């Protein structure tokens, strides 16, 4: 299988773009950073020898796909992947709805996988049309009384708990269990679940958490025998390819082995390819140079499929929390085209020259192409394109935007997936995580941790009288 591709021609433009010499001048530094990730970061994490100024060092995500696949193939019964698949199979057979409770990285990766790899109206399909997999909902990611009550109304509308169509379960995700938004939602939903399931409530709960935290203790107290771990050294926004993202994906019937194989392929490319041909390093370098050399400190991830929007929102968190430190780091924005060409494109086309456009192109469509079609009265004046397909209309829009951006000296690059499937999505997620770490090192900041988030948490607790 081939790798996804990075198209960079659109950034090498007069005045506002980069010169190829600027990019090649970074090759040596990029190779040093890449080598230090493998030769220093991973070894220091494993040995616990990182100095205080290098902490946190949440670098275990880097080789996580390789390790998960290796143990699955060498000792399947003892592997994390097998645990995930077994739990997913049991829960899928037991319930028709699963609520994933988590905030930030504890849910954004799972949502990205669902939206990119499932039917766009998955939850609206019948159980048979879903292949027997449960509907999936996300809560505990906000403080919103009406949204939480609305979900409870949906879950509680059935009154025959003995029927699988009326049963639901909870997957609470929190490394510590101390995140207020998720903990509040879990307590409320647990009370409702207990009313329905009674003494068997533990069968309907699968926590993903760290050992000995509040969530771990609480669910053990409930008698939950199945618990999946958030791996040590994997921060929330880097956890999509751990059990945090893999269990929800498996519940949806997504091929998680293929997903990890895609990430592993990107790792191999990252380790082996020279800097000039390395799409991870080139993506990081272009973003960095546009930020510090051209003052393009707004990173617009422009996705050309609605199914990729949640990946964009996941990347928003990844970039913002990793690089937004010491008054540095680009500000991420996700747009969906062609939808947002009718809202934000005016600013992108004629506003400040402070943006790098990153087009994420889906490639081949996954369903049969729809044709515009002929209409005898032609009131809408579309008969001249009656034979065009929807993908052909999209291609014309993509080309039109590219021409418009170039015409006004607006830098843009493209990530070309070829097709949206578990293998290419695994590559994309791993590429963006690796590139974000590299970009942080180029800025001389620690891409791990998010100390700025603690301020609101402290104030919130004080305001609650805690």
CA–CA distance, 407 with 386 (Å, rounded to integer): 29
d(CA 245, CA 61): 13
- Contact call for residues 445 and 326 (beta carbons, < 8 A): yes
CA distances from 2 to 263, 268, 311 (A): 12, 12, 21
DSSP string, 69-125: HHHHHHSGGGSHHHHHHHHHHHHHHH-SEEEEE--GGGTHHHHHHHHHHS-TTGGGS
pLDDT value of position 176? 86
As a whole number of angstroms, the distance between CA 421 and CA 258 comes to 9
Would you call 52 exposed, middle or buried from its count of C-beta atoms within 10 A (0-12, 13-18, 19+)? Answer: exposed
* Ordered strands of the 355-361 beta sheet: 5-7, 412-416, 355-361, 298-303, 331-336
Asked whether 229 and 211 are in contact (CB, 8 A), the reply is yes
**In contact, 452 and 323? CB cutoff 8 Å:** no
Q: Could you confirm whether 457 is annotated as catalytic?
A: yes
From the candidates 21, 53, 342, 376, which is the catalytic residue?
Answer: 342
Annotated catalytic, 342? yes
Q: Residues with Cβ < 8 Å from 166, sequence gap 6 or more?
A: 96, 158, 159, 160
Do the Cβ atoms of 289 and 123 come closer than 8 Å?
no
What is the distance between the alpha carbons of residues 343 and 16, in angstroms, rounded to a whole number? Answer: 24
Q: Is the dihedral of CA 386, 388, 391, 394 positive or negative?
A: negative
The whole-angstrom separation of Cα 75 and Cα 92 is 24
Q: How far is the CA of 103 from the CAs of 141, 301, 409, in angstroms? A: 4, 22, 39
- Residue 138: beta bridge partners? 100
Q: What are phi and psi of 162, to 5 degrees?
A: -75, -15
Q: Domain 64-254: what homologous superfamily? A: Glucose-6-phosphate isomerase like protein; domain 1 (3.40.50.10490)
Helix-then-strand count for the chain, H and E: 17, 10
Beta-ladder partners of 135? 97
Query: d(Cα 302, Cα 312) in Å, to the nearest integer?
Result: 8
C-alpha–C-alpha distance, residues 354 and 172, integer Å: 40
Distance CA 293, CA 296 (A): 8
Three-state DSSP class for residue 432: helix
Catalytically annotated residue among 321, 348, 355, 439: 321
Residues facing 331 on adjacent strands: 298
Residue 302's beta-bridge partner residues?
Answer: 335, 359
Catalytic residue flag (residue 268): no
Domain ranges for the chain, please list them: 5-54+258-448, 64-254
| CATH class of residue range 5-54+258-448 | alpha beta
Within 10 angstroms of residue 380's Cβ, the number of other Cβ atoms is 8
pTM over 0.75? The answer is: yes
**Separation of alpha carbons 53 and 34, rounded Å:** 20
3-state DSSP helix/strand/coil percent for the chain, to nearest 5?
A: 55, 10, 35
Neighbours of 90 (CB within 10 A): 14
Q: Reading across the β-sheet that carries 135-139, which strands appear in turn? A: 135-139, 97-101, 168-174, 208-209, 228-229
Are 5-54+258-448 and 64-254 in the same CATH fold?
A: yes
Q: So what's the pLDDT on residue 281?
A: 99
- Nearest in space to 161 (alpha carbons), one of 192, 124, 123, 120: 192
Residue 58 in tokens: 């949440």
Tens place of pLDDT for every residue, the chain, 466 residues?
Answer: 699 999 999 999 998 999 999 999 999 999 999 999 999 999 999 999 999 889 999 999 999 999 999 999 999 999 999 999 999 999 999 999 999 999 999 999 999 999 999 999 999 999 999 999 999 999 999 999 999 999 999 999 977 898 999 999 999 999 988 899 999 999 999 999 999 998 899 999 999 999 889 999 999 999 998 999 999 999 999 999 999 999 999 999 999 999 999 999 999 999 999 999 999 999 999 999 999 999 999 999 999 999 999 999 999 999 999 999 999 999 999 999 999 999 999 999 999 999 999 999 999 999 999 999 999 999 999 999 999 999 999 999 999 999 999 999 999 999 999 999 999 999 999 999 999 999 999 999 999 999 999 889 899 999 999 9
Q: Are 333 and 300 in contact (CB under 8 A)?
A: yes
Residues constituting the chain = 466
Q: What is the three-class DSSP state of 195?
A: helix
DSSP, res 50: -
């Amino acid at each position: 299988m081939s790798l996804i591709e990075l198209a960079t021609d659109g950034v090498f433009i007069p005045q506002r773009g980069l010169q190829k010499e600027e990019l090649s001048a970074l090759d040596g530094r990029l190779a040093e950073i890449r080598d230090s990730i493998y030769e220093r970061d991973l070894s220091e994490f494993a040995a616990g020898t990182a100095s205080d100024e290098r902490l946190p060092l949440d670098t275990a995500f880097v080789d996580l796909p390789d390790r998960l696949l290796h143990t699955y193939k060498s000792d399947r019964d003892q592997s994390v992947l097998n645990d995930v698949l077994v739990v997913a199979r049991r829960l899928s057979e037991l319930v028709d709805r699963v609520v994933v409770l988590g905030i930030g990285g504890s849910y954004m990766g799972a949502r990205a996988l669902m939206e990119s790899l499932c039917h766009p109206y998955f939850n609206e399909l019948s159980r048979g049309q879903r292949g027997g997999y449960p509907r999936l909902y996300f809560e505990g990611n906000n403080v919103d009384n009406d949204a939480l009550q609305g979900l409870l109304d949906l879950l509680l509308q059935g009154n025959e708990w003995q029927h699988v169509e009326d049963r639901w379960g909870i997957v609470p995700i929190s490394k510590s269990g101390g995140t207020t938004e998720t903990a509040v939602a879990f307590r409320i939903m647990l009370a409702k679940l207990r009313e329905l399931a009674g003494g068997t409530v533990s069968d309907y709960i699968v926590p993903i958490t760290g050992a000995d935290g509040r969530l771990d203790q609480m669910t053990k107290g409930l008698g939950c025998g199945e618990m999946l771990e958030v791996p040590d050294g994997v921060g929330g926004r880097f956890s999509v390819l751990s059990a945090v993202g893999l269990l929800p994906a498996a519940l949806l019937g997504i091929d998680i082995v293929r997903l990890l194989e895609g990430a592993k392929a990107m790792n191999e490319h990252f380790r082996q390819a020279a800097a000039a041909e390395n799409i991870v390093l080139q993506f990081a370098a272009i973003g960095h140079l546009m930020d510090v050399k051209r003052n393009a400190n707004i990173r617009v991830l422009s996705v050309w499929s609605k199914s990729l929007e949640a990946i964009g929102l996941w990347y928003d968190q990844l970039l913002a929390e990793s690089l937004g430190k010491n008054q540095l780091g680009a500000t991420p924005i996700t747009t969906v085209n062609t939808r947002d060409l009718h809202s934000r494109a005016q600013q992108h086309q004629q506003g400040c020259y402070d943006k790098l456009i990153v087009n994420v192109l889906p490639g081949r469509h996954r369903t049969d192409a729809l044709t515009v079609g002929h209409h005898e009265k032609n009131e809408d004046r579309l008969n001249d394109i009656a034979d065009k397909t929807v993908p052909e209309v999209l291609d014309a829009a993509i080309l039109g935007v590219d021409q418009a951006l170039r015409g006004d000296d607006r830098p843009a690059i493209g990530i070309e997936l070829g097709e949206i499937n578990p293998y290419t999505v695994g590559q994309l997620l791993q590429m963006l995580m690796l590139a974000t770490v590299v970009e942080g090192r180029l800025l001389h900041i620690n891409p791990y941790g998010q100390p700025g988030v603690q301020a609101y948490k402290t104030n919130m607790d004080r305001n609650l009288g805690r």
